[in-house]
Amino acid sequence: MSNCLFDALWDGRQAGNGQLFVHNTADNEVASVVDDKTFFSLTARIATVFTNASVSPGDRVAVQIPKSIEALAVYIACLRVGAVFLPLNTAYTEAELAYFIGDATPQLLIMDPAKQDIGERLIPAERLLTLDDSGGGSLGAAASTANEMSGAVSREASDLAAILYTSGTTGRSKGAMLTHGNLLSNSQALLEYWQFTADDVLLHALPIFHTHGLFVASNIMLLSGGRIIFQAGFSVDALLDAMPAATSLMGVPTFYTRLLADSRFTEQAAKHMRLFISGSAPLLAETHRDFEERTGKKILERYGMTETNMNTSNPYEGERRAGTVGFALPGVDVRLVDPDTQQTVAVGEVGMLQVRGPNVFAGYWQMPEKTREELLEDGFFITGDLATIDAQGYITIVGRSKDLIISGGYNIYPKELELLVDDIPGVLESAVIGVPDADFGESVLAVVIRDGSQAADALTQESVIGSLSTKLARFKQPRAVHFADELPRNTMGKVQKNKLREQLS
Q: Please, which pLDDT band fits residue 502 given cuts at 50, 70 and 90?
A: confident
- Model confidence over 92-120: pLDDT tens digits? 999 999 999 999 999 999 999 999 999 99
pLDDT at 25 > cutoff 50:
no
**Range with the poorest average pLDDT among 26-40, 125-139, 184-198, 399-413:** 26-40
- Model confidence over 367-379: pLDDT tens digits? 999 999 999 999 9
User: What is the rounded average pLDDT of the residues 290-309?
Assistant: 96
pLDDT at 27 > cutoff 70:
no
- Residue whose C-alpha is closest to residue 480's, from 421, 408, 422, 429: 421
Which CATH entry fits the domain spanning 4-294: 3.40.50.720, 3.40.50.12780, 1.10.1060.10, 3.40.50.620?
3.40.50.12780
User: What is the rounded average pLDDT of the residues 418-439?
Assistant: 90
User: What is the rounded average pLDDT of the residues 2-26?
Assistant: 78
Q: Please, which pLDDT band fits residue 402 given cuts at 50, 70 and 90?
A: low
Q: Of residues 501 and 193, which shows the higher confidence score?
A: 193
Which residues, listed in sequence order, are joined to residue 178 by a DSSP beta bridge? 162
pLDDT at 304 > cutoff 50:
yes
Locate the domains of the chain by residue range. 4-294, 405-504
The total number of residues written for the chain in this structure: 505
CATH 2.40.110.10 describes domain 405-504: no
- Is residue 419 classed as helix, strand or coil in its secondary structure? helix
Residue 418 confidence (pLDDT): 87
Q: Average model confidence (pLDDT) for the chain?
A: 91
- Residue whose C-alpha is closest to residue 6's, from 150, 140, 203, 217: 150
Residue 374 confidence (pLDDT): 95
Residue 105 confidence (pLDDT): 98
Residues with Cβ within 8 Å of 435's Cβ and at least 6 positions away in sequence, in order, are: 442, 443, 445, 501, 504, 505
pLDDT at 456 > cutoff 50:
yes
Rounded to whole angstroms, how far apart are CA atoms 474 and 12? 37
**Range with the poorest average pLDDT among 50-54, 103-107, 438-442:** 438-442
**Range with the poorest average pLDDT among 33-37, 134-138, 490-494:** 490-494
Rounded to whole angstroms, how far apart are CA atoms 161 and 182? 9
CB-side neighbour CA atoms (13 Å) of 36: 19
Q: Of residues 398 and 102, which shows the higher confidence score?
A: 102
Residue 442 φ then ψ, to 5°: -145, 150
pLDDT at 71 > cutoff 90:
yes
Residue 129 confidence (pLDDT): 98
- Model confidence over 337-364: pLDDT tens digits? 998 888 999 999 989 999 999 999 999 9
Residues with Cβ within 8 Å of 77's Cβ and at least 6 positions away in sequence, in order, are: 43, 44, 46, 47, 49, 50
Q: Please, which pLDDT band fits residue 170 given cuts at 50, 70 and 90?
A: very low
User: What is the rounded average pLDDT of the residues 61-79?
Assistant: 97
User: What is the rounded average pLDDT of the residues 162-185?
Assistant: 86
- Residue whose C-alpha is closest to residue 226's, from 25, 68, 7, 20: 20
Q: Please, which pLDDT band fits residue 87 given cuts at 50, 70 and 90?
A: very high
